[in-house]
Amino acid sequence: MDEDSKKTALRMIPYGIYVLTAEAADARTAAATVNWVTQTSFDPPLIAVAVKADSSANAVIGDSGRFALNVLGKDQQGTAFAFFKPVERDGDKIGEETVEAGETGVPLLSNAAAAVECRVVDTVARGDHHIFVGEVVAARVNKSPLGRPDDAILAMRDLGEKVFYGG
């Protein structure tokens, strides 16, 4: 396989940008920018998210069985970059972002455009990322989109010419 062709072809797959949050019963909290996300079923509503296998987020989700996806709006590039690196929880903040407990107790970013809370129903542990399939058990919209909802989200291309994932 030609490595350059593989990298370029995989970078042609569009990605939204989200902040995944999770919290275990022992108060370990995880928050990370993720982009390998897709809805996999309408009934029940299921989403799949890939999480780095050796990350603290993977461990916290595995232990807690739940997670949230915080949907970022077009103007939230700074929030996306803030969660590219490990951050700590301090009271009602994770990193510099204010959080509040969702319906399931998972911390949600207060300024996210929207969020879905999920209960893990399956895990695929292969490769350097594991896939968590979550059933959406709660959802909220903090900022109603104007026009198409998928036009309102922050996408990988919005982070700049040199920011890629995949390949």
Please state, in angstroms and rounded to a whole number, the distance separating the CA atoms of residues 83 and 43.
31
Q: Is residue 8 pLDDT above 90, yes or no?
A: no
> Given this model, what pLDDT does residue 108 score?
98
For the chain, the structural domain boundaries read 16-157
pLDDT at 165: 60
Where do the H-state alpha helices sit in 36-143?
56-64, 77-82
Fold adopted by 16-157: Pnp Oxidase; Chain A (2.30.110)
Cα separation of 47 and 63, whole Å? 19
pLDDT tens digits for range 96-150: 999 999 999 999 999 999 999 999 999 999 999 999 999 999 999 998 888 888 8
Distance CA 36, CA 153 (A): 14
pTM of the model: 0.90
